[in-house]
Each structure stands twice: as C-alpha cells, then as structure tokens.
Amino acid sequence: MMKFFKGDAFTTLRNACVVGSMICAGLSGYAAVAGGVAPHRMEHDANRYMARGLAASEAVLVQELSAQHPVGSDANLLLSRLSRSGFDCQPEFESPGSYACVFNRQLAFSRVARLTTRVETDGLRVTAINPTMSVGPAPQPMAFSLAAL
C-alpha cells in the first residue's frame, strides 16, 4: 500500500491547478485582446429602405440616392454604394450604359419583395435613377435529378 506524506500529493495537485488556471486566464486574455468581441453584423441598407414599408421604399431610395449621387455624378460610386448596400448590380445588355441593381427580401407565405433600381448612365456619369418595387412568389428550388447528368 502506498503511503502519501502529508502535503506531497496535495501540494502537487494545488500547484497543477494554479498553473492550469493561469494558462486558461492567459489564453482568454490573449483571445480578448487579439480577437476582440464578435463583429456586429451590419444590416443592409436595402433592408432599411424596405422596413419603411413597401410603398414608401421607392420614394425613400430615390430621395437618398439623388441627394448623395445627383444626376451628373460618377456612376461607379453609385454602383459600388448599391453593391455595398446589398444590391446585386448587373449591366443590362439590351440598353448599353444601364445597370439593374436588384435586392430580394424574403417575406411570409413564400413571397419575395424585389427592389430593383435601374441606373442609367452615359458611360461615366449618372443620367437617371429609377427604382421599382414588386412582390411576387418565391422562385421554386430547382429539382435535381441524376438523369439530367
């Protein structure tokens, strides 16, 4: 039978617990300093426009974009702002110099609100901003079949 002297096992256990807690405190302190807090998830500007109501979102969007990017301003700045705001901007091939920026928001009952902003340019400068709002059924997911492969 093994006999422990008073203090040998308990001292070792205590020292191990102290060292372990110091390591954990050091790692958590480093994680807090190096990583910071979890990043705040930014809400898209397009959601902010739609939160004012589906009918008012077009007017608010035109007012805000016209104030920040009036007719004659740089089109690239407007398109990059719309892209950062959550819109998907693509050129329209049927009318050169025009761009369609679309934002889709899922609604209840399998419906989608689609905010489309048409930006017309002369190549470099904005000539017009035309937003439209529509609500329609959500697109059905594509069926996948192995036979199509």
- Which ranges of 1-140 would DSSP assign to H, the alpha helix? 8-35, 45-51, 57-68, 75-84
Tell me the domain boundaries of the chain.
45-137
Q: Judge contact between 128 and 120, C-beta under 8 A.
A: yes
Lowest average pLDDT, out of 62-66, 76-80, 100-104, 115-119, goes to: 62-66
Count of H-run helices and E-run strands, the chain: 4, 4
> What local confidence, expressed as pLDDT, does residue 42 receive?
57
Mean pLDDT value across the chain: 81
Res. 72: pLDDT tops 80: yes
- Reported as a pLDDT band with limits 50, 70 and 90, residue 148 is low
Interval 77-99 mean pLDDT: 90
> Which is more confidently placed, 6 or 140?
140
Q: Give the residue with greater pLDDT, 32 vs 89.
A: 89
Residue 69 has pLDDT above 60, yes or no: yes
From the CB of residue 113, how many other CB atoms can be counted at a distance below 10 Å?
Answer: 17
Look at the pTM and tell me if it is higher than 0.75. no
Angle at 43 between CA 79 and CA 84, to 5 degrees: 15
The neighbour count for residue 81, using CB atoms within 10 Å, is: 16
Q: Which residue has the higher pLDDT, 129 or 44?
A: 129
What is the per-residue pLDDT for 1?
46
CA 131 to chain centre: 21
> What does the pLDDT look like over 8-67, one tens digit per residue?
777 888 888 899 999 988 888 777 777 665 555 556 777 777 777 766 777 888 888 888
